[in-house]
Structure 1
Amino acid sequence: MQRLARKAQQAKARVAQGITFRRHPHPNGKLAFEAEEMIEARMSLLRLVQRTYFKEEYDNKCENIKKSNQLYLYNPFLEEDGLIHCRSRLTWSTHLSETQKNPIILPGSCYLSKLIVQHIHERQCFHSEGKNAVLQMLRQDFLLIQARKIVRQVINSCATCRLFHGEAASLRTPPLPSFRLEEAPPFTNTGCDFAGPFRYKKESVEVGKSYILLFTCSVSRAIHLELTYDLPTVEVLGALQKFINRFSAVRTITSDNELSLQRAAKELRVLYEHIRSDQVRKFVADAFIKWKFITPSAPWFGAFYERQVQAIKRPLRKILGSAIPHSRDLEIIISGIETMVNSRPITTVASGADVIEALTPADLLSGYRGGTFISDHKAKPQKRIDQEISATNAQRILETISRRVSENGAQTNTNKG
């Protein structure tokens, strides 16, 4: 578009040069554009546009303009340069140029107007400024009818801006695997990952490195954190043993493949080598647990536990800062973070007073384990029928919780798809 504007202006100047050359031939026989010729060519194009779009006003020298005319609001007048200008209230200003005080009126539907706006957007704003900046620079010389609309159209149709400001391509998310949707006790299907290293103070003055072994339930989003010190296999095996002792329903564990950690820290690669050691394999096989490794170089397969890694690292960094805690203090902090993450809502939080509170992973853990489902009142059932009713109500509550989790998960993943 800018090239066409330049060609049009040069063509106009070339015609004028040809007439002059016929009268006074150049010694070299070549035609070179001068600044005066380019300015005159520009003025000629502007006069041609105004005569085409404002023919009646141009012939009448902008006198006796009707109120229904689109130029009436601009109080136009014909200047000595043969162009129609807008008479503004800045006419008597001494520090402004003539075009700033009385800008040249141009129609919005003219192609030359779009070329001028395109030139300002590309050469003066460098594709970076917004509509207001282009309008400000345009107003230095011209008053464009429906200027804001034209500027918006030009910027939105700019190929360079669309290339750099275009939205990133997105793919539809695939269906969730079956183990993410099936109803099962907490941590039946678990995701496992490491976070760290985190520095801690030993009993001596030395500073050691510790790692958090994260276990995530694929359905309830509950987490369990185990702190491992240094890098021996016995630490990983001990953390795994404590986790299974607490949650005996574990049947499958999904974790990263060490091949996907090529760019990670060397310590993390060593940790995953411990996971695949013969001792860990034997322990997992004896517990009838299937350990699955995701596809190499495809970390999105483990997104359901990778997201939880960020959920524990953010508060831990803010709590510790640059401090180096003792190992016991670090364990206390990690247990608090585990409680906090398990208390986050996994269903929609409603603001109504009559709506049941949102479910959290802690509710599901307590419901299945039966650790905190204790009635507030002190009355005890006197008859067996009361006990049966209480058991039935408890079972109904668990079924309601399970249904709410399934429905909320289905709605959430449908919206993401």
Structure 2
Amino acid sequence: MKFLCTFVDSDGLTRLRSKIVRREDECNGYPILLISKHKLVEILIQDYHVKNSHAGVQILLRKLRERYWILGGRNTVCRVNDASVFEVCGVDMAGPLYLKGGEKAWILLFTCAVYRVVHFELVLSLFTGVFLKGLWRFIARWGRSRVMYSDNRTNFIEGDNRRRVLFPKIARKCIPPTAAWWGGWWEQIVQMVKNLLRRTLGSASLEYEEVSTILCEVESVINSRHLTCLRIPRTWYH
């Protein structure tokens, strides 16, 4: 509150002087200042979230700040329940990549819905059995997911019954066949992988081990990205 311009109104409420002070509608430009760590603030955010059709962070913050200014508002609105890495994940396949000798390979891609961590497996076919083996390697490294989302790719659907026998505790959910945009949160990762591989490989044709090594480097680069917006410190002039 050191740099906030605040005052106490006639009702004893602490308000913030904002830049919009001459509006003639119900938003008078003096939002009520609230602390984030309070149960009533959590209820208020939930109420606004539901009333605004489960809007995203930016829209929700904008609506709240018309009447309230929550200290640490973005962190409070973005708060999620604790979850393990890959507890909820999405799976997709990207490719093909052309190896030396004309052989094809595909990238079996797993991405965490909470922390956006990624894991890649380089496979040599689209058969259901190959997908299940890649899934087995993924679980051996990261543990069993609770929920796994995917599109309606044939190998995912055909492997569902066998997956239920091998990994019965994984709940698999398919996106609607006519709504591919539901899988946008892993399609974004696919685009990032393609861009990085295109810049790294160019038109080169490599062997399986070489592509697998480069894919691990790409995985490391993507996993090192920031999960939230970068805040640039403000310079205050006196």
Q: Same fold (TM over 0.5)?
A: yes
User: Residue 127 of structure 2 corresponds to which residue in structure 1?
Assistant: 232
User: Residue 190 of structure 1 corresponds to which residue in structure 2?
Assistant: 89
User: Residue 391 of structure 1 corresponds to which residue in structure 2?
Assistant: none
TM superposition shift of 1:174:
5.2
Q: From 192, 197, 209, give the equivalent of 1:316.
A: 197
Q: From 216, 221, 229, give the equivalent of 1:340.
A: 221
Instruction: Report which stretch shifted further, 281-290 or 244-253.
Output: 281-290
Structure 1: state its 5+ residue gaps: 1-171, 258-271, 353-417
DSSP 3-state at the match of 2:145: coil
Residues 1:249 and 1:237: Cα distance change in structure 2 (over 3 Å):
closer
Q: Please tell me whether the aligned partners of residues 187 and 250 of structure 1 are also in contact (alpha carbons under 8 angstroms).
A: yes
Alignment of 1:152-191 (within 5 A): 175=55, 181-191=80-90
TM superposition shift of 1:225:
0.7
Residues 1:208 and 1:305: Cα distance change in structure 2 (over 3 Å):
same
Cα-Cα RMSD:
2.3
Residue identity (%): 35
Residue identity opposite 2:97 in structure 1: F
> Deviations 1:203-237 (Å, cap 9, x if unpaired)?
xxx31111111111001011111111023332211
TM superposition shift of 1:182:
3.7
Q: Please tell me whether the aligned partners of residues 225 and 335 of structure 1 are also in contact (alpha carbons under 8 angstroms).
A: yes
User: Residue 166 of structure 2 corresponds to which residue in structure 1?
Assistant: 286
Determine whether 1:244 maps to 2:139: yes
Determine whether 1:295 maps to 2:144: no
Residues 1:290 and 1:314: Cα distance change in structure 2 (over 3 Å):
same
User: Residue 329 of structure 1 corresponds to which residue in structure 2?
Assistant: 210
Larger RCO (alpha carbons 8 Å, 6+ apart): 2
The separation in 2 between residues aligned to 1:281 and 1:232, in whole angstroms, is 15
DSSP 3-state at the match of 1:322: coil
The number of residue pairs the alignment matches comes to 160
DSSP 3-state at the match of 2:189: helix
The separation in 2 between residues aligned to 1:290 and 1:254, in whole angstroms, is 9
TM superposition shift of 1:302:
1.2
Residue identity opposite 1:227 in structure 2: L
Determine whether 1:275 maps to 2:156: yes
Q: Please tell me whether the aligned partners of residues 284 and 291 of structure 1 are also in contact (alpha carbons under 8 angstroms).
A: no
Residue identity opposite 1:282 in structure 2: R
DSSP 3-state at the match of 1:338: helix
Residues 1:294 and 1:348: Cα distance change in structure 2 (over 3 Å):
same
User: Residue 219 of structure 1 corresponds to which residue in structure 2?
Assistant: 114
TM superposition shift of 1:246:
1.1
TM superposition shift of 1:351:
4.3
TM superposition shift of 1:193:
1.0
DSSP 3-state at the match of 1:276: helix
User: Residue 124 of structure 1 corresponds to which residue in structure 2?
Assistant: none
Q: Please tell me whether the aligned partners of residues 190 and 250 of structure 1 are also in contact (alpha carbons under 8 angstroms).
A: yes
Alignment of 1:12-411 (within 5 A): 175=55, 181-201=80-100, 206-257=101-152, 272-278=153-159, 280-287=160-167, 288-352=169-233
Q: Please tell me whether the aligned partners of residues 182 and 219 of structure 1 are also in contact (alpha carbons under 8 angstroms).
A: no
Runs of 4+ in 1 over 3 A off after TM superposition: 172-176
Instruction: Give 1 or 2: higher strand fraction.
Output: 2
The separation in 2 between residues aligned to 1:307 and 1:199, in whole angstroms, is 22
Q: Please tell me whether the aligned partners of residues 144 and 170 of structure 2 are also in contact (alpha carbons under 8 angstroms).
A: no
Q: Please tell me whether the aligned partners of residues 199 and 208 of structure 1 are also in contact (alpha carbons under 8 angstroms).
A: yes
The separation in 2 between residues aligned to 1:247 and 1:284, in whole angstroms, is 18
TM superposition shift of 1:255:
0.7
Q: Which has the larger radius of gyration?
A: 1
Q: Please tell me whether the aligned partners of residues 111 and 186 of structure 2 are also in contact (alpha carbons under 8 angstroms).
A: yes
TM superposition shift of 1:350:
3.5
The separation in 2 between residues aligned to 1:283 and 1:295, in whole angstroms, is 20
The separation in 1 between residues aligned to 2:109 and 2:92, in whole angstroms, is 5
